[in-house]
Amino acid sequence: TFMGGLLSCLPCKDVGPLRPTTGCTRPDGKAWADVVVKIGGSACTKKATFETLNDVALSAICGQLATLPKEGFSLAVVHGAGSFGHQHAKEYGVSKGAEKAMALSERLREGFAKTRLSVTTLNKHVITALLKEGLPAVSMSPCPFVETSAKKLVGGRLSPSTVDGTRGLLGRGFVPVVHGDAVLDESQGVAILSGDVWMVELCRELGAKSAVFVTDVDGVFTKPPWESGAQL
C-alpha cells in the first residue's frame, strides 16, 4: 500500500479543474513534481492542544516521504496548520479582515502577526523533520509573496514569480514546502490562504501526476467523517 496506508492518493484530475498551464512540464517533458503531498494539520499536530506538535506522527510521515526521491519521484509538500495558527486566526478575525484594506485595527494587525508566527513555527518543525530524513526541504512561506482579493488569489492563479520560484527549487533538486498562511488581501486588508488552495495550484502548475493527502482518518470522505452518513 502506498506510503504504508497513511495517505489517500488521488489522480490530479480528481482534485479539481486543474487545466495544466504552459510550462507545467520541464523542457524534457517530465513533470516538475510527480507528487504533491498535503500533510494535514490534524495529522502532524495534536489539534485539541494549543500549538502542540505530534512528533511521532510527523517523524513517521517524513520518513515515508523520504522514500519517494529514492524511487525516482520528484516531490513538493504542503502542510496545514492544525493546532498552530487556527486559534489566533479565529480569535482575532484574521479571515474576516477589515472593511477597508488600508484601515486595519491594531487588534487585527496583532492577530495577523501572531497567526503568522504560529504557522511559521510549525513550518520550521516540518522542515526540520524532513531534513532529518535526508530531504533537502526549503520553506516557501506565502506571505508577503502571495496576495488575495476577497479571499481568492489575485487573477485566480499563483503569480508567475511564485510559480517560477517553486519550479526553480524543484529543478535544482530541492523539496519546496509551502503552508497555509495569513496573507495580505486587496479588498479586506488581510485574509487566510489555505493549504488546500496551494494543493490545487501546485498540482496545476507543476504538472503533478498525483495529489496525496496525509490525514488522521481512513481516507477521503464525502463529508466530515464524524457526521452521520459520511462515506469513504
Structure confidence at residue 24 as a pLDDT band (50, 70, 90): low
Q: How confident is the model at residue 31 (pLDDT cuts 50, 70, 90)?
A: confident
Angle, alpha carbons 214-42-198 (nearest 5°): 60
pLDDT single digits (tens) 34-65: 999 999 999 999 988 999 999 999 999 999 99
- Whether the pLDDT of residue 10 is over 70: the answer is no
Given a cut of 70, whether residue 210 has pLDDT beyond it is: yes
Pair 149, 101: CB distance under 8 Å: no
Q: In which band, very low, low, confident or very high, does the pLDDT at 23 lie, cut at 50, 70 and 90?
A: low
- List the single range of 11-20, 69-78, 126-135, 161-170 with lowest mean pLDDT: 11-20
Q: What share of the chain is helix, strand, coil (3-state, %, to 5)?
A: 40, 20, 40
Tell me how crowded residue 27 is: count the other CB atoms within 10 A of its CB.
7
Q: pLDDT band at 118, cuts 50/70/90?
A: very high
- Model confidence at 219, in pLDDT bands (50, 70, 90)? confident
- The answer to whether 36 and 10 have CB atoms below 8 angstroms apart is no
pLDDT in tens, 187-203: 999 999 999 999 999 99
Q: What are phi and psi of 105, to 5 degrees?
A: -75, 160
pLDDT for the residue 218 = 74
pLDDT of residue 8: 46
pLDDT tens, 167-185? 999 989 999 999 999 999 9
Which pLDDT score is estimated for 220?
73
CB neighbours of residue 186 within 10 Å: 12
- Per-residue pLDDT tens over the stretch 135-171: 999 999 999 889 999 999 998 899 889 999 999 999 8
* Among 218, 216, 212, 213, CA closest to 73: 212
List the domains of the chain with CATH numbers.
32-92+117-142+157-181+194-214 (3.40.1160.10)
